[in-house]
Amino acid sequence: MSGTFKRILYGGDYNPNQWEKSVWKKDMEYFKDARINSATVNVFSWAKIQPSEETYDFSELDEVIDMLSRENYDIVLATSTAALPAWMVKRYPETARTDYEGRHHKFGQRHNACPNSPVYQKYASALAKKLAERYGSNPHIACWHINNEYGGECYCENCEKAFRVWLRKKYQTLEALNKAWNLEFWGHTIYDWDEIVLPNALSEGITSEQTAFAGISIDYKRFNSDSILENFKMERDAIRCFDKETLVTTNLMGTYKGLDYFKWAKEMDIVSWDNYPGYDTPWSYTAMCHDLMRGLKGKPFMLMEQTPSQQNWQPYNSLKRPGQMRAQSYQTLAHGADTIQFFQLRRSVGGCEKFHGAVIAHAGTSDTRVFREVRQLGQELETLSDILGTKNQAEVGIIFDWDNYWALEYTSGPSRELTYVKQIHEYYRYFYDRNLGVDMIPWDGDFSRYKVIAAPVLYMVKEGMKEALEDFVKKGGVLILTFMSGIVGESDNVHLGGYPGPLRDLAGVWVEEIDALAPGQKNETVFSDGTRAECGMLCDLMHLEGAESLADYGKDFYAGSPAVTRNTFGQGAVYYVGTQMEEEGLFKVLDQAVKEGQPAKALQESTGLEITCRQGEKGSFCFLMNFKEEVQSVPECFVGKTDLLTGRTVEPGEEMKKFDVKIVKM
Ligand code: GLA
Ligand code: ZN
């Protein structure tokens, strides 16, 4: 189960079950022409392969698997458990979910099973087991795809009972639980485990984003993530009864909030994810998601889904412009993917996704722009298998942490503008624009390979975090911290004694107060060289406790007090950014931090291209991509090298238009 695949998997979700057999035959011809070598099947077929509680019918799936095996596909075989069959919900209403408002659902939709329903668990694992028994020894099965885009929440009675069990295990005593949730506040003290109810709109929840008690709500998030993870493990283990070898995955969703993907990845053989940028998503954001997905295991991942052309579920489902799908695919490979898979291979005739892009559109022909682009990419990927398994090597790490994601966004105050991923992306973008490779890392990972670590809005400092960060800096690392850090512990109770709590020594500052500025209100930061830059949203009012000020506030009653600081700690340094700075100011601070930390860069020259490299035994593969409107010239250091995509030598002064890509082996 080490390594990934023998070739770059190229294909995607394929639903022949929705089509007549005559169409299957044509599909095989089209796909071959496009160099498609992989198909993800059986994603939503539960009702077909188990038409009733007592009967299973694999006859059609047998035919699909036979056909794909004959054609030498790498099959990604899904377990179909992401949408309940109608008969199950009718006979066992408990298999459906109860939503945040407390409404128990009827049959409908997908991703609709209560994770703690014993009936769902029984039939989902039985199905996975049957599939593994039947197909597990087929050498064409390249990967198991459990369920689909796990997510959502359930607030039913089964979940409530399971939550109490989960809490008992975590806290042991009610005293510990009352203390952790600070239930003395509003006199919510619990005297019996059965008094605990799930935090939704009927109880401690206000909206799904707000809560009266973050302690219980964060614990519910952890519990829900764990409950659904148990569903995954259950199917995985069922598969393992018959198939000990084949990789097992489930498709994740980038920065999806609901599941602690670092915890999940430990249970997965390989990470896979679905990349659906909107028409206006910055390329740096997509790159960050890839780096996060790679960071979950620190290994190459699968791109399980992307659309070849457009989506249906965004507000504005723009077409991908000519060359855009190809460039997006190379960005994905550049950041560590070993597969490029689409949703989907043939566009559905009905249902809410009928306008979702596909390799074969409703016209039913390969004579389309989209198909030609898919074919071109397929032809190119066939030549690039040396890239498989190569690694991205970064010396900048950015800490991403789901507990912090949940906790920060539950805080009532100081500003509703504060969101987790946006803050992380601000920092990511700085490194991205300079072609400084980034690993998105967990707080408890191995920091030793990084020269610079950014831990934006590290609001919740859990046990062990302080020590890990101090150790990194002591040994010479450069750490970047920001406002809203070190404030609470693992249950959202404040670390008393002054912000940033356990990070106070490390940062060398004491934050006495936090001002919130309304939209449109601004302060400014004034650097020691006289440069000024606007800032807003939050302004920490702080005292220096060993740190030096890099910039002071320019306005208001705290004008002249420090806004951004640097502290020497052991062999290293800590930058503390106490306010939301405009780009120019923030980048000036980060320039200094990078100058001090000296992380490796893909190249010394500055360029508007994205340049991301993967290293392996056969060399270093540098992906040069132009995501800018303007033409960019190829940096000098690549001149004279061969572009693997064209076989041509890169000439001096060569230019790249928007969406042009080169892969240069160094
Ligand atoms: C998700 C799902 C697919 C499909 C696509 C459409 O990624 O996994 O089944 O619905 O979205 O974009
Ligand atoms: Zn439930």
* Dist CA 473 CA 566 (whole Å): 12
Q: Is the C-beta atom of 596 inside 6 A of ligand 1?
A: no
Question: Is 539 one of the annotated binding-site residues?
Answer: no
pLDDT along the chain (666 residues), means of 10: 83 98 97 98 98 98 98 98 98 98 98 98 98 98 98 98 98 98 98 98 94 98 99 98 98 98 98 97 98 98 97 95 98 98 98 97 98 98 96 98 98 95 98 98 98 98 98 98 98 98 98 97 97 98 98 98 98 98 97 97 92 94 98 97 97 97 96
pLDDT, position 141: 98
Q: Is the C-beta atom of 276 inside 6 A of ligand 1?
A: yes
Atom of ligand 1 nearest to the CA of 274: 7
Q: Cα of 153 to ligand 1 centre, how many Å?
A: 18
* Dist CA 137 CA 529 (whole Å): 68
* Dist CA 27 CA 32 (whole Å): 8
* Dist CA 291 CA 38 (whole Å): 24
**Cα 571 to Cα 49, 348, 445, 451, distances in angstroms:** 62, 60, 20, 12
Closest CA to 452 of 589, 599, 572: 599
Q: Cα of 459 to ligand 2 centre, how many Å?
A: 30
Asked whether 358 and 346 are in contact (CB, 8 A), the reply is yes
Question: Is 321 one of the annotated binding-site residues?
Answer: no
Instruction: Report the DSSP beta bridge partners of residue 480.
Output: 454, 575
Atom of ligand 1 nearest to the CA of 43: 9
Question: Is 313 one of the annotated binding-site residues?
Answer: yes
pLDDT, position 618: 85
401-426: buried (b, 16+ CB within 10 Å) or exposed (e) per residue?
bbbbbbbbbbbeebbeebebbebbbb
| Stated pTM of the model | 0.98
- The residue contributing the CA closest to ligand 1 atom 4 is 343
Atom of ligand 1 nearest to the CA of 305: 7
Q: What is the 3-state secondary structure (H, E, C) of 590-614?
A: HHHHHHHHCCCCCCCCCCCCEEEEE
Question: Is 159 one of the annotated binding-site residues?
Answer: yes
Q: Cα of 169 to ligand 2 centre, how many Å?
A: 19
- The residue contributing the CA closest to ligand 1 atom 3 is 343
pLDDT, position 457: 98
Residues that are catalytic: 149, 305
Stretch (H or E) spanning 480: strand 478-482
* Dist CA 199 CA 100 (whole Å): 9
With the most atoms of ligand 1 within 8 angstroms of its CB, the residue from 43, 146, 274 to mutate is 274
SS3 of 135, please?
Answer: helix
Q: Cα of 97 to ligand 2 centre, how many Å?
A: 5
Within a 10 A sphere around the Cβ of 583, how many other Cβ atoms? 13
pLDDT, position 602: 82
pLDDT, position 2: 45
Q: Cα of 652 to ligand 1 centre, how many Å?
A: 43
pLDDT, position 481: 99
Q: Is the C-beta atom of 14 inside 6 A of ligand 1?
A: no
Question: Is 637 one of the annotated binding-site residues?
Answer: no
Q: Tell the burial category of 196 from Cβ atoms under 10 Å away from its Cβ (0-12, 13-18, 19+).
A: buried
